A = this chain, B = another copy of it.
Amino acid sequence: MWQAMRRFPAALAVLLALTIAIAAPPPAQAVSAPDVPPPVHFTLDNGLEVVVIEDRRAPVVTQMLWYRVGSADDPVGLSGMAHYVEHLMFKATETRDEGEFDSILRAQGAVSNAFTSFDYTAYFQRLAADRLEIAMQLEAERMAGLRIDRSSWLTERDVILEERGQTLESHPNRVLSEQMRAALFRHHPYGIHPLGWRHEMELLDGDNAEEFYRRHYGPNNAVLILAGDIDAEAARAKAERHYGPVPANPNVATRARLAEPPQLAERRIILRDERVARPSVNRLYLAPARRAGDQREAAAMQVLAALLGGTRTSVLDRRLVHEDETALSVWAGYQGAALDHGTFSLGAVPAEGVTLAEAEAALDRVLEEFIETGVDAGQLERVQRQLRAWAIYELDDAQARARSIGAALTTGLGLDDALGWTEALLSVSEDEIMAAARTLERRASVTGWLQREEGEAG
């Protein structure tokens, strides 16, 4: 899950990267904490979906407003638009001057930010429960009342260009990632980073941003999540008060994206860069996404990833890092919360003296062995224990739950799917895991080598 954040501390970016690998699942009804009532889901007359996640253990509430628009909805030729509009949302509105949004929230001690991914754009504030309505009012104001001034759009475009330079272009491993996705998705917009191609970001302006905003923003294209010290009844009243008056946006249309042609041939990318400190081999497969009402295949993919990489006892770690000492580190990940396509990734940083070709051969050998020998029951049990622990841990974190549910509801899933995900993970059978492993086809994959410029022969 790539995300472009409005503010982008390096630590947070790393945290997001780790999230991919360890893939913390959302809570399941099967895993219940005593103090946590099930989320409540309803829809206002103007189409705004609302989910209330009550958790009274601390007097704080997180408001998250998720829009069903992301970088995969960027106009063709204007990539980066969804993320650009996310930035502009912090500027002036019909009733507020630029800067007011941030300064009001800051004065209330609120934590506030936003992020844009392929399928959604989300805004959140976390603040004392008795201040919640301030955040709701501000969020409602910019749902339909954004005002894009000439003074703000130009400087904000510089900000996102700078963001691309700092968070993407100056990291060869992320450039490789961008190139690998562009090779995996030759036609579907998932092939373009949410930040956009630089030469198209330079074409973004106040006018085309305004058009995008008018087309995609509105209560009928959004999910409001209130998580924390609030009950469903109070939440409904407050949602009605602040968001109820915002009229549905008649411009909102079904999301239509370019479809990917068949995956016929294996692709490889070699990025040579003098800034590379540690060469690595990376594999990215096209994989099924989680589907509403049918998450079993995706759950098997997720468990497969956990079996292969991410912990000291996972298959790749055990074989390549601890036994053979071929790799300094390895990873496996599955990203299945997506409207159109999921991805499955593997990779390794070779140990000193090991070439990328050798490390790749070792990765493939271990994967083949795994497919031949099958799942180790003891390891599966450990992974399931871990998944259960993560689920319980997440139940304790209203904000993490809000995040899981918001991502689900904006990627074609329902609340039941979000709540049933851990249960799906825990019920995955060995056969399903092996079937998932066998679907990882080289012809639907990209292999990326990150090399030091003029170094290693590979």
Which of B76, B175, B191, B268 contacts A76, CB < 8 Å?
B76
Interface hit among A120-128, A134-142, A180-188, A377-385: A180-188
Please measure, in the bound complex, the distance between the C-alpha atom of A310 and the C-alpha atom of B136, giving whole angstroms.
71
Interface of A is mostly: mixed
Report if A403 contacts B (CB, 8 A). no
Contact indicator B258/A179 (Cβ below 8 Å):
no
Does A438 lie at the interface of the complex (its beta carbon under 8 Å from any beta carbon of B)? no
**Copies of this chain present:** 2
Most buried by B among A191, A198, A261: A261
Across the interface, which residues of B come within 8 angstroms of A192, CB to CB? 187
CA distance in complex: A259, B79 (Å):
11
**B199 & A265 in contact (Cβ 8 Å cutoff):** no
**A264 CB-CB contact with B under 8 Å:** yes
Contact B261 A271 (CB under 8 A): no
A198 contacts B258, C-beta separation under 8 Å: no
Q: Once the chains bind, are B77 and A261 in contact (CB under 8 Å)?
A: no
Chain B CB within 8 A of A266 CB? yes
A60, B258: Cα distance in complex, Å: 47
Q: Choose from B269, B272, B442 the contact partner of A268 (Cβ within 8 Å).
A: B269
For window 48-88 of chain A, which residues contact chain B by CB distance below 8 Å? Answer: 76-77
Establish whether residues A179 and B76, one from each chain, have CB atoms under 8 Å apart when the complex forms.
no
A195 to B198, CA, bound (A): 30
Contacts of A259 in B (CB 8 A): 199-200
Q: Mark A179-218, 1 if CB is under 8 A from B, else 0.
A: 1001100110001100001111000000000000000000
A186 in contact with B175 (CB, 8 Å): no
Q: Is the CB of A271 within 8 A of B264?
A: yes
Among A160-187, those with CB < 8 Å from B are: 175-176, 179, 182-183, 186-187
A259–B182 Cα distance when bound, in Å, is 14
Chain B residue contacts of A268, Cβ below 8 A: 267-270
Q: How large is the interface on A (under 10, 10 to 19, 20 to 34, 35 or more residues)?
A: 20 to 34
User: From residue A270, how far is it (CB to closest CB) to chain B in Å?
Assistant: 4
Asked if A443 is at the interface of the complex by the 8 Å CB criterion, the answer is: yes
Chain A 407-423 per-residue mask, 1 if CB under 8 angstroms from chain B, else 0: 00000000000000000
Q: Are B267 and A267 in contact (CB under 8 A)?
A: yes
> Beyond A77-B258, A267-B269, A268-B269, is A187–B176 a contact (Cβ under 8 Å)?
no
Which residues from 344 to 398 on chain A have a C-beta closer than 8 Å to any C-beta of chain B? none
For the complex formed, measure the closest distance between the CB of A35 and the CB atoms of chain B, giving whole angstroms: 50
* CB neighbours of A443 from chain B (8 A): 272
Taking CB atoms, residues of chain B closer than 8 Å to A272 are 265-266, 443
A198 to chain B, nearest CB (A): 7
With A and B bound together, what is the CA distance between A199 and B188 in angstroms? 12
Closest to A77 in B: B258
Of chain B, the residue at the smallest CB distance from A256 is B77
Q: CA separation between A271 and B264, bound complex, in Å?
A: 7
CB-contacts of A257-309 with B (<8 A): 258-259, 261-262, 264-272
In the complex, the chain B residue whose C-beta lies closest to that of A193 is B261
- Measured in the bound complex, the distance between the Cα atoms of B224 and A349 in whole Å is 60
Q: Are B186 and A264 in contact (CB under 8 A)?
A: no
User: Which chain B residue shows the least CB distance to A191?
Assistant: B186
Residue with the highest number of chain B CB atoms closer than 10 Å, among A187, A200, A448:
A187
**Is there contact, CB below 8 Å, between B176 and A265?**
yes
A272 to B272 alpha-carbon distance, docked (Å): 26
In the complex, what's the smallest C-beta–C-beta distance from A440 to chain B, in angstroms?
15
User: Chain A 240-269, CB within 8 Å of chain B: the 1/0 string?
Assistant: 000000000000000000110110111111
Residue numbers in B under 8 Å from A271 (CB-CB): 264-266
- Docked pose: A260 CA to B179 CA in angstroms: 12
CB-nearest residue of chain B to A186: B182
- A–B pairs, 8, beta carbons within 8 Å: A76-B258, A175-B265, A182-B261, A265-B271, A266-B270, A266-B272, A267-B267, A268-B268
